[in-house]
A and B are shown apart, each in its own frame.
Chain A
Amino acid sequence: MNQSQAGAIAGSAVRVLLPVLLALVAGGLILLALGADPIAYYGYVVQRGLLSPTGLEGSITRMAPLLLIAAGLIVAFRAGLWNLGVDGQYLLATVVVAALAPVLAPLVPSWLMIPICLAVAFAVGAAWSVIPAFLKAVHGINEIISTLMMSFLGVSLANILIKIVFNDTTTTVPQTETLAVEDRLSRLGDSTVHWGVILAVLAVIGVHYLMGHTALGLRLQIIGSNPRTAIHAGLNVKRLTFIAFALSAGLAGVGGAIDVIGVQGNVRADYNPAYGILVIPLVFLARFNGFGVIAFVFFFAVLMIGGESAARRVGVPNFFVLVLVALLLTFLALVEYLDHERRQKRAA
């Protein structure tokens, strides 16, 4: 490795680590202003999310749904489509699979049940993206609005399904039937981590490969970077728009399925983790790069799991994680801007 390459790598490491550091410091100042002890808070987060064995296993398990959502977003964003409706797609697939899995489990062996569940989840997620894809491809309507609206609709519809259609009548709280623990995804070794995490990591790497190394990926990237070029090149932009949306929403749906048949076992009414809107900034922070996404999702999962413990012990509500993600996003954008300006000056 020559000197300039090493310099470039060091440069990009600084561009990523500096915003993280600034966000943590700014977050600490906010905690201080609110009268909480930032050192104690961060200490707890690291202790409970990363250093303790149960915490680390919890963080890694949490990565599974987040990574699958991120995989879907990489496809959409690289294709220049703003799929901001992940939460609806995710939740609807989650609820349908939660209803399906306990019915299916006694009927078919698990090697068949799991693929069926994942396929159904993919289909449900993808189906929820058809309207925005249609509006975008045919009417040219901005997909930001339509996906957001579909997301709100999906969340409410999922609730109706739980309360009215799939309600387990043996429990007092409206919820779907519970999938027996032995029917859930098997664990890795002695840990509490299920193998869905591996599937999720493979999905992100697969999508990274798809977008960078295949003809379909290249076509999607072209409609993303310059739709006019895509038309001139004779690409079927409408069809590609539908494909990108379906892949994106379908993968988010699979994320929901993995969480249900791996960890939750059922879904309660009014459950909405709203992972999507949090993963979007992470995919940006990683600049749509699959490996970067895995690293950021791990960092974020630690923050979430540790933050949940810290909320109970240090008394800082977990809303603080939202603030941290926003700060991270802002500082990353700021550092990138300053870097851009610096280069422009050097070039001039």
Chain B
Amino acid sequence: MDALFTEAFIGALLFGAVTAGVPLLLAGLGEQISEKAGVLNIGIEGMMLVGAYVGFTVAYYSESFFWGFLAGGIAGAAVAAIMVVLCVYASMNQIVVGIGITLAAEGMTALEHHYEFSRSYPRLGKTETWPIPGLSDLPYVGNAFFNHSPLVYFGVVLTFVLVWLFRRTHVGLNLQAAGDKPAALDAAGVSVATTRALAVLSTGFLAGLGGAYLSSVAGGLFLPFMTGGAGFIAIVLAMLARGKPTWVLLGAFLFGASLSLTTAMQVAGINVPTDIIQMLPFAMVILVLVAFGRNSRLPPALGLPYRRGER
């Protein structure tokens, strides 16, 4: 058991937790924006997957992580634009459209991957990291927290930007109103459709960014269906966070830790069947829901299209 407490083990566990948690953080923050504005974005799994594919492919050909991330985010936003048209402007059922988007993304990315790379699975080179001077040399936590891709720091900074945005700005107030009482927002002269459209587009961008990180940094390669439910975990995170971005950050790190346990266990030489490890995050969600479910809060108008004058 001594192996569990070595610096290598703890370092690997924490580093893995951050790496596995960042896609969840970005997607979870994105989902939170949509949910606040009253759009339940089930298509986020598909947006992540498209971001993962496009992000990887662009990073692979341009040999630049930056362009890969940007392309992944834009691709996610492009998929979200479909959802905006169908759900926000055409008032279609958000769940049905979300499932459709996820199915289409699964099919399209797998197909595209087949035609682009055939059966080869090329890998990207080592990630560029920005070690934070001083902090990155700390024992145990230095490498785990302060020697990452710039996108990781972006995710953390974004969390606090959103805290400010939700609490202190008109934009945050409008988002909240679009989800809580869209008619009131409309009466105040702000367009519910535009507010929601911008929210969903931001969600798509962040989900795509998370996907791009998943494929090009965390995995180093793209595999069909590689998100494997990460988008759905992001939805749960957003739901349990009750509108607080910092809770998404905490939740994403905890989920990341349970995901990274496999690799860390292998470092320590303990062999646990992967199926059991794969169950951990989902079992955790169910446990959390059973234990704290009473406290989850969703905006009253979540999932409902807004049509002016209807009650």
Contact = CB atoms under 8 A, between A and B. Distances in A.
Interface of A: 30, 34-35, 82, 84, 131, 134-135, 139, 141-142, 144-146, 148-150, 152-153, 156-157, 159-160, 163-164, 277-278, 280-281, 284, 316-317, 319-327, 329-330, 333-334, 337
B96 A281 contact: yes
B282 A152 contact: yes
B93 A333 contact: yes
A131 B114 CA distance: 39
B103 A163 contact: no
Given A160-B275, A319-B224, A322-B103, A150 B286 contact: yes
B90 A334 contact: yes
B91 A145 contact: no
B273 A160 contact: yes
9 contacts: A30-B108, A141-B293, A144-B40, A145-B235, A149-B289, A150-B282, A329-B99, A330-B97, A333-B100
A153 B239 CA distance: 19
Contact of B283 (A153, A159, A321, A326): A153
B5 interface: no
A135 B97 contact: no
Contacts of B239: 142, 145
| Secondary structure type dominating chain B contacts | helix
Interface string B199-235: 0000000000000000000000000100001001001
Contacts of B97: 329-330, 333
Given A146-B289, A152-B282, A333-B100, 17 more contacts: A135-B289, A135-B290, A139-B289, A141-B296, A145-B232, A148-B229, A153-B279, A159-B275, A160-B273, A163-B275, A319-B107, A323-B103, A323-B104, A325-B103, A326-B103, A326-B107, A334-B86
A61 B87 CA distance: 36
Given A82-B95, A164-B273, A277 B100 contact: no
A204 to B, nearest CB: 20
Contacts of B296: 139, 141
Nearest to A160: B275
A156 B281 CA distance: 12
Contact of A323 (B40, B111, B286, B290): B111
A149 B236 contact: yes
> Chain B interface: which size bin?
35 or more
Nearest to A148: B232
B103 A281 contact: yes
A321 B92 contact: no
A205 B82 CA distance: 36
Contacts of A150: 282, 286
Nearest to B277: A156
B311 interface: no
B276 interface: yes
Most buried by B among A278, A316, A317, A327: A317
B100 A139 contact: no
B108 to A, nearest CB: 6
Contacts of B101: 326
Contacts of A153: 279, 282-283, 286
Contacts of A84: 99
Given A35-B115, A149-B286, A281 B100 contact: yes
A147 to B, nearest CB: 10
B285 interface: yes
Given A135-B290, A153-B279, A319 B96 contact: no
Contacts of B108: 30, 319, 323
Given A145-B239, A148-B232, A323 B107 contact: yes
